[in-house]
Amino acid sequence: MPPETASASPFLFVAATPMGSRKMGVRAAASEPSLSELLRKEQLLLLRAWRLPQWAQTSESVGIPVADDLAMNDQLATLLPRGVPLIEALDVVSTVVKPGTKQRIERIRDMVVSGSSFADACQKAGGFEDVSIAVYRAAERAGDLGGAAARLASSARRRLAISRKAITLMIYPAVVMSISVVVVLGMLSFVVPRIGEALSEAGVTLPWFSDLVFSAGAWCRDNLIWIVLALLTAIVLSVALRRQLVGALLRGLRVLPAVARLQLAIESTRFFAVMAAMTKSGVPIADGLATTTLSITHPALRSQLESLRRKLVEGGLLRNLLDEVTALPVATRRLLIAAERGGDLDQVFDTLAGDMAAEVDTRSDRLLALLEPAIIVAMFAIIGALLLAIMIPLITLSGTAGSQL
């Protein structure tokens, strides 16, 4: 089986376990025989496999999940400084990661046994970020792979905390909006048509807004199956294209000041954490910037950092160029300039990563505090408008009946 995974495709598979049960999942492999070999190492017997389109790749099939990245580097940072050989450490790592990552670790171990360096093996196995590979390569030259793993573990721990915070921010709006959709669809499909028919039989003249709502309710009742299928399709597509959707959502929400500041804090946290790991491993500033800026999505910050690197390579002074990165706060720029003069940029990068992580917590809490009432108001506005469209004709009918009495 080739170590490279650049041409690997995701497969949906059905396999038999040693106990005779069936297991389904998604794995990346170059071919069906390669997939069978991967599953055999997990004590699974391949029964059926279907090649999926590239957009259907899961995080396990395209890259190392952050949790597995953290677990791997934590184990390496614990075992290597205590004299445990790298091959034995990788055996331990393969027991603490998910199955999708385990097969990569086993390939890395095999390549290290064959004489490859750890950084080269990670690059060939695929799934590792360029930042991690650059840090591993520099650390192997310096003979401090355990220390580099500890620094990458610290960076992964911060990334994991940020991603969990982002998930927390998204869960509340998603739950509330899902409940709103279900309630509105249920009322439109089952309650509104019956009331509309009763009012029509009573000869009540409906206002245009009520007439529109009752017509929409009748349409939803007649096409309920298609609406449910459309919603299920939308959910499946949202899961499959979640990366693209999240990116588009962030770009759309970037116009909001609160979201823009939170995103900048998240990007800055990741930038400083990675730069701290790279500079402590002996990677030059220019090389670190070239690798790190590739993962930054904030347009202003990325553009300014790329300009800083280009001018630095051309011979500019870092202390002068740092002041041009206006996407960063003034205090941050002044601290970096002072650190560059004092020769302790790696320590300041690490300190700023911690400070920015704390700012992410603060800003995300504030954003969640703003989202809660805004979503509740939006939910009640939708449901309230629906109830108002129903109640106005009923009140009219009640007043007409009272006057006739």
The most confident of 13-17, 253-257, 265-269, by mean pLDDT: 13-17
143 DSSP assignment: T
Structure tokens at 386: 């629906």
Band (54; pLDDT cuts 50, 70, 90): low
The domains of the chain, with CATH numbers, are 9-61 (no CATH), 63-158 (1.20.81.30), 165-405 (1.20.81.30)
Instruction: Dump pLDDT digits (tens) for 85-137.
Output: 999 999 999 899 888 788 889 889 988 998 889 988 988 887 788 778 888 88
Predicted local confidence at residue 385, as pLDDT: 82
| Residue 2, pLDDT above cutoff 70 | no
Band (181; pLDDT cuts 50, 70, 90): confident
In the chain, pLDDT over 70 holds for what percent of residues? 89
Mean pLDDT of 57-79: 78
Distance from C-alpha of 50 to C-alpha of 141, rounded to nearest angstrom? 43
Band (6; pLDDT cuts 50, 70, 90): very low
DSSP codes, 161-212: HHHHHHHHHHHHHHHHHHHHHHHHHHIIIIIHHHHHHHHHHTTPPPPHHHHH
Predicted local confidence at residue 59, as pLDDT: 43
Band (80; pLDDT cuts 50, 70, 90): very high
Single-letter amino acid code for the residue at 84: V
Mean pLDDT of 325-337: 88
Predicted local confidence at residue 62, as pLDDT: 54
The most confident of 28-37, 74-83, 325-334, 395-404, by mean pLDDT: 74-83
Report helix, strand or coil for 376.
helix
For the chain, give the mean pLDDT.
81
Whether the pTM exceeds 0.85: the reply is no
Which positions ≥6 away from 382 have C-beta within 8 Å? 180, 184
Q: With contact defined as beta carbons under 8 Å apart, do 276 and 285 qualify?
A: no
How many Cβ atoms sit within 10 Å of the Cβ of residue 240?
Answer: 16
Instruction: Dump pLDDT digits (tens) for 334-375.
Output: 998 888 888 888 888 888 888 888 888 888 888 777 777 887
Q: Which residues of 28-53 are buried (b: 16+ CB within 10 A; e: fewer)?
A: bbbbeebbbebbeebebebeebeebe
Q: Where are the alpha helices (DSSP H) in 208-256?
A: 208-222, 224-240, 242-253
Q: With contact defined as beta carbons under 8 Å apart, do 18 and 45 qualify?
A: no
Predicted local confidence at residue 5, as pLDDT: 38
| Residue 72, pLDDT above cutoff 90 | yes
Band (76; pLDDT cuts 50, 70, 90): very high
| Residue 206, pLDDT above cutoff 80 | no
Q: With contact defined as beta carbons under 8 Å apart, do 39 and 13 qualify?
A: yes
Cα angle 128-129-134, degrees, rounded to a multiple of 5: 105
pLDDT: is 23 or 61 the higher one?
A: 23
